[in-house]
Amino acid sequence: MQTMSAPAAPTSTGDSAATLTVMPRSPGTVTAARIYHLAVALVGTAALLLSLYVSATSPVNGGALNGIIFTLSYFTVWSNIFALIINWSLFADPARDGRGFRWLRMTSLVMIVITGLIYAILLAPIANPCGLGVYTNLGFHYIVPWATLLGFLIFGPRPRFTWDLVPKMMLIPVLWLVYTLIHGALQSTPPGDKCVNTGLGSPQNWYPYPFIDLNYDGTGAPSPLIPGLTAPGYGGVAINIVGVIVLGLLFATIFLGLDRLLSRGQKPTPLPAGE
């Protein structure tokens, strides 16, 4: 006669209704999760604060405000900020749940993993960090992305993901794209780069990444994300954006599958509206 393991017991998170949590469950695992998320949060917070300090004090950035605005315009920084929010919240409660948490958990996972991948594949070969930037680069592009992914795989909490979150997780990336295109359409003065001895730039249409730059390297088109698949100006940007959106939806689907697989098929507890 086949036996079935008992389902995981519901756990209570704050004022929320009891919710199913397969992982973490034991006191030892919960403690390990707290320590892990704290370590990731501290590394990421240190990298963010150090990056903002450099942006505010560098003599080639055109002043503190200008330097900080440009630093906060990078998708890397957005994804790290949301990953930090999640890691700090999981340090406080490793079994956290809630409608907003589920959405932000999937969103931050997709954003930070894409950040790590795109940097490693496309941007690392042309990057030239120096000074304190070596440490911020290490935190932003290597430690936080892969440590956040590893924390999800080891500690969860799970199950937490549902199919409706897959399209919803694109909200923040789309907001970043809209901001970036508007910011790029306006004339702005980009900071210089002391690593390669360039001073404050002249007013121009500035974009943070080659694949969204309408006139990257004077070619009249962005750098293609898919080799050979490009078009001039906004057409090329649109092609790259579609590629990024498809990649995001693919990763969201993968994370949902992993959430279900690692939960032994258990589905998240339905949450009342507004919770």
Report whether pLDDT(13) > 70: no
Domain ranges of the chain: 24-262
Q: How far apart are CA 207 and CA 199, in angstroms?
A: 17
Q: What is the pTM of this model?
A: 0.88
User: What band does 254 get if pLDDT is binned at 50, 70 and 90?
Assistant: very high
- Residue 174's pLDDT is 93
Give which of 123, 113, 170 is closest to 144, Cα–Cα: 113
Task: Give pLDDT tens digits for 44-103.
Answer: 999 999 999 999 998 888 889 988 999 999 999 999 999 999 999 999 999 999 999 999
